[in-house]
């Protein structure tokens, strides 16, 4: 009997300790690391475009996917629509994503930042955010500590750029 993996993209989902080791090895080989963080509740074209543009900022893209607990805190009790393992699998299946990590952290900035431990472990060259991010200034301050450069990705060209907008459309049907 042949033993093969049905979903090889799931190998891209890593724990904190695994991603730390992987990134250290990649940096030693001169790779430029880009880090992003988000909920990715219902993956849509805005997410895909954002991740594609974020990947262009460097060579390796690491995506932090919000835990179910944190998404509830940030977005409300009705969210997430999809659980964290599903969302991490969806993100890991996208071509620009090299690695995905489910965040295990507490919110450290009012309703927004939940990746400070990951940031300290990875210490990426670049952290990408979308141009609609309400906490860009707080993130700039945090990134200085790790000498990580902020990259702003314009997502205004996507017709529907948020899960919240998608849910409003669906609820109006």
Contacts of 66 (CB under 8 A, 6+ apart): 37, 38, 39, 40, 74, 80, 84, 87, 103, 114
**Which domains, from first to last, does the chain contain?**
12-171 (3.40.50.620)
Q: How far apart are alpha carbons 15 and 32 in whole angstroms?
A: 20
Contacts of 27 (CB under 8 A, 6+ apart): 33
> Which of 143, 52, 127 shows the shortest CA–CA distance to 97?
52
Q: How far apart are alpha carbons 23 and 27 in whole angstroms?
A: 6
Q: How far apart are alpha carbons 7 and 129 in whole angstroms?
A: 28
Beta bridge partners of 151: 128
pLDDT of the chain along its 173 residues, tens only? 444 455 677 899 999 999 999 999 999 999 999 999 998 988 888 889 899 999 999 999 999 999 988 888 888 888 888 899 999 999 999 999 999 999 988 776 665 667 889 999 999 999 999 888 888 888 888 899 899 999 998 876 655 567 767 777 777 77
């Amino acid at each position: 009997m042949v033993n093969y993996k049905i979903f090889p993209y799931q190998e891209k989902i890593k724990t904190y300790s695994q991603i730390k080791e992987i990134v250290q090895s990649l940096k030693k080989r001169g790779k430029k690391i880009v880090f992003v963080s988000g909920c990715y509740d219902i993956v849509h074209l805005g997410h895909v475009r954002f991740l594609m543009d974020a990947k262009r900022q460097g060579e390796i893209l690491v995506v932090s996917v919000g835990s179910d607990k944190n998404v509830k805190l940030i977005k409300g009790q009705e969210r997430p629509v999809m659980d964290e393992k599903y969302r991490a699998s969806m993100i890991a299946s996208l071509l620009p994503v090299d690695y995905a990590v489910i965040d295990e952290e507490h919110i450290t900035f009012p309703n927004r930042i939940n990746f400070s431990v990951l940031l300290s472990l990875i210490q990426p060259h670049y952290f990408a955010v979308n141009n609609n991010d309400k906490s860009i200034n707080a993130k700039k301050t945090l990134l200085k500590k790790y000498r990580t450069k902020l990259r702003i990705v314009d997502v205004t060209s996507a017709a529907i750029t948020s899960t919240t907008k998608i849910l409003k459309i669906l609820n109006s049907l």
